[in-house]
Chain A
């Protein structure tokens, strides 16, 4: 089933948190709502499941207009950040709750709960109370509760934020597996770009209540719409330098010049975005500087290089280069992968 959010606006009192937001989720697809804290991800999610009223706009589940329906009638499954399990009920009762509410027969409930419990691998935990479960197990129970009523959409609000690094990795693939097995369209709210990129078919990158770019993760990475997208995605993050525009070429500090592509009209001021993997000795020379910081990351080393004009460029290299802090280097840039932005941050 397809989900369409059109012209969605949300205000809290005088504060407009979301303005005219459009979002489409295709059936079977998993998308991420990614963005910095406070940009309105949860608000959007809560509007979709009906916890928040929409001030303007419409919400379609398939052809059905649901903006005026209370959350009870929307048939969406939600996994909350803190799981929101009911502490006084057993795991079984927690998962069965949406069905109990609908007054289904006991045998039906039992069958469906067992089915879903198998799917999320918690078959042997059904008799326990939520307090007797680990974080990852609680997460699975919450997922099972959201899925048991065969919702039209699955909404996940930062489902991995409370887990430790290893569990997070494990649950990332688990959630994706379960989503793909059930084929339910899902929206994942997260502020973790790795999570969004590894789990989702498409990412809607949000900033200050607007969707800045909505596309496949690789497109967002290689072809960002603006400076915000470029800087939000990528770890370690992209570096920006301000070259001098000189007769159809960009002059970088240290003498390297990059030709301005023909389809771009020359501007007085342009910003260059260089990803860490596009700067290094393998790309020749031309951008000299001083190494001011080295971070060992296991297989790789991360260098912060201070250029002549005082700007900082990051580089990531295979470990074992033997370069230390204070070393003078002269590395090159992969000119094809350099991203150009105008002074407003829009992509050129």
Chain B
């Protein structure tokens, strides 16, 4: 029997905790939220039962019978103890007592009937129409807009209001203001035209930024390689700045650069170009800015990786290619680039994954605008769940957005892992000598 190494397990425990709390828990929670209809209005705890106009309209759409709807809509009036007590307070004990005598326990279906009944008062007449209206209101007993703490209370009211028991379940479900389990989020995402748009935006964002990152990173790395050491050090430091600058500051500089009173606009105004917001003027502007902002940040990563890979190429190999007759460009093409295959693949896959989920630079710069032109999937998830102008934060729907992204990310990383086939990569001697 194997003895369990408790010391080893103990040492590993913190790592387990970190993996569980920080890696697994968010994914699991996302999956969990994605199948609820949680939002600001439902809250994340349980809720109460209330049927309002919106709810009424919603069940109407779901095909509730006309008769039931009418019953729910038309306020019913009941001369009960509660109403009479309120009446006594406003119109005097006597009036209330007289009315109880006249119409105690009576039921009226319309306001007109209720008001007519109030006219029956003799000793304690309510003269003005306005007061009668107010008095009628005291007896209004409706399912609408009343809050009930439990389902039983709500159902009791429905029975009392004589509503067809066949429709109770649908009404209760609609009236429940807390969250419930649902698959609607996913269905919604697949039917909304805007999600297609977010998907296309994401493709465009990842595709363009990635190409920029890799190509520009390569260009930088190769040109740095051919520059004299001191110049290349300065050069690479400059290109590294966007990465080490806090995103907020970095994007602020871009905003300052592109504002309608910013650098570009001001400079161009000297040659007679009307000032405009160069970031948000059109969606093309927005895309260019976003690709550049993210591209410059990512290019430095590529530059560093590619540079060190180029430095790992033995100088004698470069000398050999020179005496073999290769020009600088041919040297880059035939000797340097082929030996950068792994770094290029690595940067591509790593950046795809991080670009898929990253939206901070877009959020800070265009915030998805103009319109929804640069709203990418992850930003849509954020907006839906955590920051939306409507005020109703749809945690459930947002989580569903995020969950789809997580699934795509996992598939992509598994594919990359397969593609890389790390074991083979390690076994393969890259450089001889």
Contact = CB atoms under 8 A, between A and B. Distances in A.
B partners with A: yes
Given A51-B319, A51-B323, A80-B319, A101 B330 contact: yes
Contact of B316 (A72, A84, A145): A84
A81 B316 contact: yes
A78 B325 CA distance: 11
B320 interface: yes
Contacts of B338: 88-89
Contacts of B316: 80-82, 84
B323 A71 contact: yes
B322 A71 contact: yes
A83 B314 CA distance: 11
Given A88-B339, A97-B334, A101-B330, A83 B433 contact: yes
Contacts of A98: 324-325
A50 interface: yes
Interface stretch (B91-99, B397-405, B424-432): B424-432
Contact of B339 (A81, A83, A87, A130): A87
Contact of B323 (A49, A82, A100): A49
Interface residues of B, number: 24
Given A72-B326, A131-B432, A149-B325, A84 B334 contact: no
Interface string B318-344: 011111111100100011001101000
A82 B433 CA distance: 6
Nearest to B428: A131
B430 A87 contact: yes
B270 to A, nearest CB: 45
Contacts of A331: none
B338 to A, nearest CB: 4
A85 to B, nearest CB: 7
Contact of B432 (A46, A50, A87, A101): A87
B317 interface: yes
Interface residues of A toward B: which range? Answer: 20 to 34
A221 interface: no
A78 B429 contact: no
A76 interface: yes
Contacts, number: 77
Contacts of A53: none
Given A80-B319, A86-B335, A87-B430, A145 B324 contact: yes
Contact of B324 (A46, A81, A97, A138): A97
A102 interface: yes
A130 B330 CA distance: 21
B324 A101 contact: yes
Contacts of A86: 317, 320-321, 334-335
B317 A131 contact: no
B322 A85 contact: no
A87 B320 contact: no
Interface string B412-433: 0000000000000000111111
A77 interface: yes
A46 B322 CA distance: 12
B308 to A, nearest CB: 17
A89 B338 CA distance: 9
Interface string A88-123: 110000000110111000000000000000000000
A168 interface: no
A130 B431 CA distance: 10
A199 to B, nearest CB: 21
A156 to B, nearest CB: 12
A74 interface: yes
Interface in A178-220: none
Nearest to B431: A87
A49 B326 CA distance: 14
A98 B431 CA distance: 20
Contacts of A78: 319-320, 323
A215 to B, nearest CB: 29
A76 B323 contact: yes
Contacts of B325: 72-73, 98, 101-102, 149
Contact of B314 (A46, A73, A82, A149): A82
Contacts of B339: 87-88
B326 A77 contact: no
B327 A72 contact: yes
Contact of A74 (B323, B432, B433): B323
Q: What 7 A-B pairs come out closest when comparing CB atoms?
A: A82-B433, A84-B320, A84-B316, A98-B324, A88-B338, A80-B316, A101-B325
Given A50-B322, A89-B338, 8 more contacts: A71-B323, A72-B325, A74-B323, A81-B316, A84-B317, A86-B334, A131-B429, A145-B320
5 contacts: A82-B433, A84-B317, A97-B326, A97-B334, A101-B325
